[in-house]
Structure 1
Amino acid sequence: MSIKRLEKFQSYNMNLVDLQQQQALKRYIARSSERERIASELQTKNPLEVDTPERVTLRKAIIDPRDGLAIERIIGQDDLFPISYLEAGLQAARPVCRIEIRDRIGRVLGHATGFLVSPSLLLTNNHVLENYDSAQFSRAQFNYEVDLDLKERPMKTFRLTPERLFITDQKLDFTLVAIEDMSADGAKVSDFGFLPLIPQTGKGLVGEYVSIIQHPSGAPKAVAIRENQIMDVFDDYIHYSTDTMPGSSGSPVYNDEWIVICLHHAGVPDPKDAAKFIANEGIRISSIIQFVVEQSANLGEDQKLLINDIVKGWEVQGPTTEEMVVEELSDSWYEGSTGYDTQFLGDDYEVPHPIFRSDLEQDVAQLKDGSNVLHYTHFSIVMSKSRRLAYYTVVNIDGNQLRKIGRNDKWYLDSRIEIEYQCGPELYKNNPLDRGHLVRRLDPVWGDSAERANKDTFHFTNCAPQQSKLNQKTWLDLENYILDNAENSNLKVTVFTGPVFRMDDIIYRGVQIPAEFWKIAVIVKKDGNLSATAYLQTQKNLIEDLEFAFGEYKTYQVPISKIEETTGLDFEDLRNYDPINQLESTIGYVIDAPEDIKL
C-alpha cells in the first residue's frame, strides 16, 4: 500500500470513528434531563430501586447465590469481593485479544481489541473490521500481556476467516467474524476460551460499576476495574465513565460477575473541548444478539452451525422453563372481575367486542358456566377451542393511573375454562419460543387494582408462542407511542390484540404456531372523534406492492378491513374511524419507527 493509500485509509477510519462519536454525543445530549433525574435518584436510592423491575429481576437471577456480598456491592454499600474474583477476571481476560489491522501486503494500519464469543467466532467493532477484505488480511493476537516480571508473554497470532462467517453492521458498530482453529505455530484458539453472551436485558443496572479489559493504543492487555459507573441505558447503547484509549475499540465491558454487558465502541466528546471526553459508549450485547439472530435466517447451514455455538445454553440463563411455577387460582379470585369496559373511552364512544364470522362461532371456547368471554382486571379474552390460544384480547389502558409493579414469576392456568383449551407449560419447555403476553403486562396495571391486574396477565390464556425473530421492541413501542400521543386529556386507549390463525401455520408439539400478530388501538382525538389504527406484524408476504424480505418480521400499519379479512372478526363501525380506511385492504405502511404511525 502506498503512503497515499495508507493516508486515505486512516482518514476514512478517523471519519467513521468521528461519526460514531458525534452520534454518541447526540444521544448523550438528548437524554441530559433524564440522566440528571437518574443521578439525583441515585443520591438517595440504589441501582436496584432506580432501574426497571424487569432488568432488576434478570440482574438478580445471574448472581451466584454463594456470593453473599453481591447485592451489597451493587447497591454501593460494600466493595468486598471473594478472592476468587481476581481469578475469574484472569479467566475473563484470556479470550480478549489485540487486533492488528493489516492491508493485503501485510502492512500494519492500526490496532484495536476483540474477544472470542464462541470457540470459532470473534467480536469487535465495524469501524475496526468494516468489510470482508479488512477481516481477511488482519490478525488476532492473543496472550499479548506482561507477566509478573513485566516481561511480554509469548504472543499467539491467528488469521481471521471471513469466508466461513462475516456479519457486520455500521449502525450497531459491530463485526462478528470466524477465526481459524489453529495458528501457524500450532497453538489452538480453543485454549483461550470464550466469553458467553446472554441475550436478556438487565445485565448491568444504571448506577452499577463495571470493568473493561482492553489493549489501549495497541499496548499489552490492561484492565480498568470498577472505577466506571453506568450513567445511562438506551435501547441499543450504554453510557458509562470508563478509562479507555485509542485501541480500546472492540473491548468487552463486564459487570461484577465478569459477564459481558456491552461492546465498547466510542467516546462521547466534550462539546466544549474536542480533546476531552465526558463519557464512553458501548453497544448492548442484547441488541447485537438480536441482530445476529435475525440475520441467521439468511445464512447457509455451516454458518448457522457457527451461530449455534453462540446460542448454546441461552435457555438456562435466568429462570428456566423447568423452574417456572405453574398454578391455578381459586374460583374466588375471579369473582367481581368485570374485564374490558366497552364505554371506557366515554359514554359517547362505545367500542364493543368484535363479531365472529359465522363459520368461526362454533370454535369459540365456552367457559364452564356457558359464557364465552374470560374477564380479568381491565381486560378480557376470547379463546379458540381448536388452536388453544386467544382469538383476541382487549384491554383498557389509563395512562394517568399507570403504576410500576414488579413481575410475577408464577404462571396460571384458568380454572374457569377446560385445560384442553389452554396451551400450558408443555408447549414452552426446552425451546426458544417466547411466552409472549398478548395483553402487555404493563397495560392494565393501573389504579387501585394494579397488582391484581399484573397477576392476571400471567395467565396462559393471555400467552402466545412467539418465534425469536419477532421484533418485540417495535411491536411494544406502538402502544407507548399511541398512549404518549393521545390528544385527549384523559390519555385513555383501548387495544385489541391477537394472533393470525392460518391453515399453513407450522405444527409444533401438537400446536399450530402463529406466524403473525395483529393489533388495533382506539383513542379519542382532540376534535372529539375516534381514531382507530390497525397493525400487522408478519414474516409472510401478505401485503402487496411492498418490498418484503421473507423470513424477517416487519410491522405494517394496515386498514382495519385488512385485519377483519385476515381474522374473520368484524369490528363494525371502527373502520369508519381509521385514517387509512380509504386505501385498498391489501396495502399498508411499513412501521420502522413509532413516528411512522398515521393517527
Structure 2
Amino acid sequence: MSIVSFGNYPKINQDLVTAQQQNALKRYIERTAERERIANELQTKNSLEVDTPQRTAMRKTLINPRDGLAMERLIGESDLFPTSYLEAGLKASKPVCRIEIRDHIGRVLGHGTGFLVSPSLLLTNNHVLENVDAARFSLAQFNYEVDLNLMPRQVKSFRLEPDRFFITDLELDFTLVAVELNDADGTKLSEFGFLPLFTESGKALLGEYVSIIQHPSGAPKAVAIRENKINDVFDDFIHYTTDTMPGSSGSPVLNDEWVVLALHHSGVPDPNDSTKYIVNEGIRISSIMKYLAAQQQSLSADKRKLLENLIAGTSKQPAPTADSGPKPMLVEELSYEWYERSTGYQAKFLGDNYEVLLPQLRSDLEQDIAPLKAGGNVLNYTHFSIVMSKSRRLAYYTAVNIDGSQLINLNRDADKWYFDPRLDRKYQCGPELYENNDLDRGHLVRRLDPVWGEQAKEANEDTFHFTNCSPQHKNLNQKTWLDLENYILQNAGKYDLMVTVFTGPVFRSDDVLYRREFQIPAEFWKVVAIVKDNGELSATAYLQTQKNLIIDLEFAYGEYKTYQIPVLKIEDLTGLDFGDLRQHDPLERIEAVVGRIIESPEDIRL
C-alpha cells in the first residue's frame, strides 16, 4: 500500500514537513485504542450508525434527493453511480491547480497543489506557501493536465496577490491567498470556478470513502477516486488510508458529492520504516472555516470583504452534479462601464403606434422607490429595466422587450450573481436571504427573454443581478408560467414576435417575515402586451401564488395556482398604474370576471 505523500517542496520547507509528520504520528499513536474500537464497530455497522448523530444529520443534507443509490453507497451496500458523477468530478477538478514555488529571481524551488475556494481566493498548505514572500513569487497553474488523447492542455498561469489577501496558520497548516483575476493572456480566473467550503461538521463519516484531486509530485492533475477510507476523526484533523499513487499536499479531500471535507497535508510515517507511511492526514475544513471567521474583525475593509464572499458561500447545498439544481453562487460586482450601453426597456418596442409606457406607482408608494446613486429610479439593463423597493429590497416591477425573431439560446454557465453598483447595497437582497433554505433565486425577467440580437451575451449576464431575482420556494412549479410565455410568443404573429412583459411580486403587509428582516412575497404577477394578427394591442395579466408553500420554509407543502386575471386587478394588488394598457385587456370586456385558472395554454384568453 502506498500513501499520498507530502509533495515536492523546497529544502527550506523540509523542517516544516517533518514537524507536520511527527505531529500527525503523535496523534495517530494516541488514538490507537479508539481507532481499533471504530474499526471493530465498522465490521458490523455502517457509517451512519458509527458516527455521531450530529455529524450523520449533516451528512444526509448533502445527499442529492434525486440520487436513489446515495444512501446505499453511504452505508456500503452499493458502488453504483449515475454517469453524471464523473461529469461532476470533472467540474470539481477545474479549480484545482499546481502551485509552482519560485524564489525572487524566478528559480523553481518545488511544487504543491491548491484549489480555488471563492472567486479570487486559493487554499493550500502553510508548508507550501509559508509566508507572503513565498506567495509573491509563486504561480497558480491551471489546466496542467492531459486531454482525452493524453496530450498536454494549454496551462494557464496566474500570479498570487498576497498583498491583497493572505492568511496562514502553522498549526492548522493552511494558507489562504488572493489570486489575480486575469492572467497575462487575458484568461479570466472565473473560468475555473471554485469549490465552496461548508462550515458544518459531518461532511464525511467514519468508514466512508473519499476522493483526492491532486498534482502528484508536481505532475499533471490526477485523481484517487474512492480508494481513501476515513478511519479516524479528530477535532481538527481526519485520517484516511489509500491505495493511490504518491500525491501532493494542498489537495482537496472530497466526499461522494464532491464536497470538500479536508485539506490534505501530510502522511503519517511508519515509526518502524522511515520509507513508508501508515495513513494520510487532512485538516478539517470546518476547523479552517472556524479559524477564518475569528479573523474577520481584525482585517481591513477590503480584505474583510474578500473573506465575507468566501464565508457567504458556506451554506449546505446539494451535490454539484450536472442536474442537481442550485449551483454554488459566485457573488461579484460589475464596473460602471458595463452599464454604459444599457438602454433598458423601450416603450415603442411594439411599434410607433403601440407605445407602452412603464407603469407608475401610486402616490403613497413613490417615497419607497429606491433611488439610484446618480439620480433617477429606473435601473436600465440590456433590453429590460427594473424599479426597486427600498423597504422590501426587491423589485416593484421588471419590464422586458422580447424579439422572438432574434432570440439566441445561450447556455447557463456558473451561477454567478451580481450586486448593482448603481444602487446602494442596502436596497438589494443578496446571499444572506437565499442561503441554507429552500428558497430559489427566482428570475423575474426570465433569463432567455432579453437574450437576443447583438447584445445577447450582455443581456444574459444582466439577468443575474440580485435586483432581478425574488425569493421563490423550490417547489414552486414554473412549468405553467413558462408554458404561458411560450404560448404567447408563438401566437404573436405580427411584428416578428415582438412582446413586452412586465413582472413582479405582490407586496402584502402580512407576508411571511423571514430571518427577522426579509418578507417573502406569496404571489407573483405578469402583464404581457402583444400586437395580434388583426393589428390590435392585447394586454393580458396573470397571477401565480406560492402562499401554501412558504408557511414553513423547512417543511413546506401545498399546491400552486396560476390565474389569468384582469390587468385592473394587478393594479389593485400592486399599486401600479398601467395607464391605457388596461383598455386592451380581453377580460375587461367580460363582466364579473375575477380570474380564470390556467392549467394549460388552452386556458389562456387573448
Under a length normalisation based on structure 2, what TM-score does the superposition of the two structures give?
0.51
- Asked if structure 2 preserves the Cα contact closer than 8 Å seen for 1:111 and 1:247, the reply is no
- Structure 1 residues 251 and 243, CA, compared in 2 at 3 Å: closer, same or farther? farther
CA distance in 1, matches of 2:137, 2:202: 36
- Asked if structure 1 preserves the Cα contact closer than 8 Å seen for 2:197 and 2:313, the reply is no
Q: Which residue number corresponds to residue 303 of structure 1?
A: 303
Deviation at 1:169, TM superposition (A): 0.1
CA distance in 1, matches of 2:246, 2:102: 17
Indicate the SS of the match to 2:200: coil
Matched, 1:124 2:127: no
In the alignment, structure 1 segments of 5+ residues that lack a partner are: 1-8, 319-428, 434-507, 511-599
Q: Which residue number corresponds to residue 163 of structure 1?
A: 163
- Asked if structure 1 preserves the Cα contact closer than 8 Å seen for 2:198 and 2:315, the reply is no
CA distance in 1, matches of 2:81, 2:516: 46
> Which runs of structure 2 are paired with 1:401-550 in the superposition (5 Å)?
none
Cα deviation digits, residues 446-478 of structure 1 (max 9, x gap): xxxxxxxxxxxxxxxxxxxxxxxxxxxxxxxxx
CA distance in 2, matches of 1:17, 1:313: 31
- Asked if structure 1 preserves the Cα contact closer than 8 Å seen for 2:240 and 2:279, the reply is yes
CA distance in 2, matches of 1:317, 1:147: 30
Deviation at 1:139, TM superposition (A): 0.2
- Structure 1 residues 159 and 244, CA, compared in 2 at 3 Å: closer, same or farther? farther
- Structure 1 residues 313 and 124, CA, compared in 2 at 3 Å: closer, same or farther? closer
Q: Which residue number corresponds to residue 214 of structure 2?
A: 214
Q: Which residue number corresponds to residue 263 of structure 1?
A: 263
Cα deviation digits, residues 52-81 of structure 1 (max 9, x gap): 000000000111100110110011110000
Amino acid at match of 1:190: S
Q: Which residue number corresponds to residue 139 of structure 2?
A: 139
CA distance in 2, matches of 1:63, 1:157: 35
Matched, 1:41 2:41: yes
- Structure 1 residues 295 and 243, CA, compared in 2 at 3 Å: closer, same or farther? farther
Deviation at 1:304, TM superposition (A): 1.1
Q: Which residue number corresponds to residue 115 of structure 1?
A: 115
- Asked if structure 2 preserves the Cα contact closer than 8 Å seen for 1:315 and 1:431, the reply is no
Deviation at 1:94, TM superposition (A): 0.1
Deviation at 1:242, TM superposition (A): 2.7
CA distance in 1, matches of 2:307, 2:246: 30
CA distance in 1, matches of 2:316, 2:241: 31
Q: Which residue number corresponds to residue 254 of structure 1?
A: 254
CA distance in 2, matches of 1:284, 1:129: 19
Cα deviation digits, residues 114-172 of structure 1 (max 9, x gap): 00000100000000000000000000000000111111000000000001100000000
Q: Which residue number corresponds to residue 172 of structure 2?
A: 172
Q: Which residue number corresponds to residue 286 of structure 1?
A: 286
Deviation at 1:92, TM superposition (A): 0.2
Cα deviation digits, residues 331-376 of structure 1 (max 9, x gap): xxxxxxxxxxxxxxxxxxxxxxxxxxxxxxxxxxxxxxxxxxxxxx
Under a length normalisation based on structure 1, what TM-score does the superposition of the two structures give?
0.52
Deviation at 1:247, TM superposition (A): 5.4
Deviation at 1:217, TM superposition (A): 0.7
Indicate the SS of the match to 2:205: coil
- Structure 1 residues 311 and 63, CA, compared in 2 at 3 Å: closer, same or farther? same
- Structure 1 residues 70 and 509, CA, compared in 2 at 3 Å: closer, same or farther? closer
Q: Which residue number corresponds to residue 76 of structure 1?
A: 76
- Asked if structure 1 preserves the Cα contact closer than 8 Å seen for 2:199 and 2:315, the reply is no
Amino acid at match of 2:230: I
Indicate the SS of the match to 1:78: coil
Q: Which residue number corresponds to residue 453 of structure 2?
A: none
- Asked if structure 1 preserves the Cα contact closer than 8 Å seen for 2:209 and 2:255, the reply is yes
- Asked if structure 1 preserves the Cα contact closer than 8 Å seen for 2:196 and 2:314, the reply is no
- Asked if structure 1 preserves the Cα contact closer than 8 Å seen for 2:165 and 2:178, the reply is yes
Amino acid at match of 1:284: R
CA distance in 1, matches of 2:120, 2:187: 14
CA distance in 1, matches of 2:296, 2:95: 24
Return the structure number with greater relative CO, CA threshold 8 A, min gap 6. Answer: 2
Amino acid at match of 2:157: T
- Asked if structure 1 preserves the Cα contact closer than 8 Å seen for 2:238 and 2:262, the reply is yes
Q: Percent identity?
A: 67
- Structure 1 residues 83 and 63, CA, compared in 2 at 3 Å: closer, same or farther? same
CA distance in 1, matches of 2:139, 2:51: 40
Cα deviation digits, residues 27-68 of structure 1 (max 9, x gap): 000000000000000000000000000000000011110011
CA distance in 2, matches of 1:115, 1:315: 19
Deviation at 1:312, TM superposition (A): 1.8
Indicate the SS of the match to 1:314: coil
- Asked if structure 2 preserves the Cα contact closer than 8 Å seen for 1:101 and 1:134, the reply is yes
CA distance in 2, matches of 1:249, 1:190: 24
- Asked if structure 2 preserves the Cα contact closer than 8 Å seen for 1:113 and 1:247, the reply is no
Q: Which residue number corresponds to residue 187 of structure 1?
A: 187
Amino acid at match of 2:36: E
Amino acid at match of 2:197: L
Amino acid at match of 1:102: R
Deviation at 1:243, TM superposition (A): 4.7
Larger-Rg structure? 2
Amino acid at match of 2:196: P
Amino acid at match of 2:227: E
> Which runs of structure 2 are paired with 1:56-95 in the superposition (5 Å)?
56-95=56-95
Matched, 1:98 2:98: yes
CA distance in 2, matches of 1:137, 1:246: 26
Amino acid at match of 1:276: K
Deviation at 1:11, TM superposition (A): 3.5
Deviation at 1:15, TM superposition (A): 1.0
Indicate the SS of the match to 1:54: helix
CA distance in 1, matches of 2:98, 2:165: 20
Matched, 1:199 2:199: yes
- Structure 1 residues 432 and 194, CA, compared in 2 at 3 Å: closer, same or farther? closer
Number of matched pairs: 318
- Structure 1 residues 286 and 74, CA, compared in 2 at 3 Å: closer, same or farther? same
Deviation at 1:313, TM superposition (A): 3.8
CA distance in 1, matches of 2:60, 2:157: 38
* CA RMSD, 1 decimal: 2.0
- Asked if structure 2 preserves the Cα contact closer than 8 Å seen for 1:216 and 1:244, the reply is no
- Structure 1 residues 185 and 243, CA, compared in 2 at 3 Å: closer, same or farther? farther
Amino acid at match of 1:43: Q
In the alignment, structure 2 segments of 5+ residues that lack a partner are: 1-8, 319-431, 437-514, 518-606
Amino acid at match of 1:183: D
CA distance in 2, matches of 1:315, 1:176: 19
- Structure 1 residues 275 and 60, CA, compared in 2 at 3 Å: closer, same or farther? same
Indicate the SS of the match to 1:297: helix
Q: Which residue number corresponds to residue 272 of structure 2?
A: 272
Deviation at 1:316, TM superposition (A): 5.2
Deviation at 1:430, TM superposition (A): 5.4
Deviation at 1:308, TM superposition (A): 1.6
CA distance in 2, matches of 1:314, 1:13: 31
CA distance in 2, matches of 1:182, 1:25: 41
- Asked if structure 2 preserves the Cα contact closer than 8 Å seen for 1:117 and 1:194, the reply is yes
